[in-house]
Amino acid sequence: MPQLEASAAIDFRSESYQDAYSRINAIVIEGEQEAHENYTKLADFLPDSKDQLHSLAKMESRHKKGFEACGRNLSVTPDMEFAGQFFSQLHCNFQDAASRGNIVTCLLIQSLIIECFAIAAYNIYIPVADDFARKITENVVKDEYSHLNFGEEWLKAHFEDSKTELETANRQNLPIVWQMLNQVEDDARVLGMEKEALVEDFMIQYGEALSNIGFTNRDVMRLSAMGLAA
């Protein structure tokens, strides 16, 4: 089924829309909160980029506030318990990597995987969002590109030393993203977002990022499809 194009076709006040929104909105709020924490953590590890990372962390807090307002605007209460569980595996893997000082893994999880997931989700959401949420999401997605860019630039500058760890971290974490996508597939569809469109946009962003960092086209194909069931 093609991606819906006119938000006029969607009833934002229907029970089914609000029910699905209570989970998707919560995921986004939780994601923004965790992204804030992750960039704050990264600032401790990378003193040369400390100010920049604190500024990224601040943007994530702003994003969180924006999406909280989107939920309130539709009178939806976000299901934060669901969202906490939704992110728990990636959260745990980030914490674990941070405790070992594996900065490359932390950057792969937050700045590549999660940012690409966010960019894909927000790009696909914008055309089907209500007017209030669309304006907010349009501004947020611009920031997310700059967060992805931070990760790309750092990993590009340290590519040879990071390559092996990136491969391992990708193998560990990318399959989790496909599982996460499967978990929200039905809710996303209610909001007018098709899974195929989300996967396609994610693959494009993530593949481009890996290629910018220095991986060959062959490596990009192998890495970006890791754990993706046909």
Q: Given the rule CB under 5 A, which residues bind Fe ion? A: 32, 35, 60, 63, 144, 147
What is the three-class DSSP state of 174? helix
Output 164 or 182, the one with its CB closest to ligand Y39: 182
Buried b (16+ CB within 10 A) or exposed e, 129-161: bbeebbebbeebbebbeebbebbbebbeebeee
Q: Which residues bind ligand Y39 (CB under 6 A)?
A: 24, 27-28, 31-32, 35, 60, 63, 114-115, 117-118, 121, 144, 147, 184, 188, 193, 198
Please list, in sequence order, all residues whose beta carbon lies within 8 angstroms of the beta carbon of residue 77, skipping any fewer than 6 positions away: 22, 71
Tokens for 183?
A: 């978990």
Q: How far is the CB of 14 from Fe ion (least distance, A)?
A: 28
Residue 177 binds which entry of Fe ion, ligand Y39, none, CB below 5-8 Å type-dependent: none
Output 98 or 174, the one with its CB closest to Fe ion: 98
Output 144 or 165, the one with its CB closest to ligand Y39: 144
Output 121 or 174, the one with its CB closest to ligand Y39: 121
Crossing angle, helix 159-190 and helix 131-157, to 10 degrees?
A: 160
Q: How far is the CB of 220 from ligand Y39 (least distance, A)?
A: 22
CA-CA distance, 67 to 185, in Å (whole number)? 20
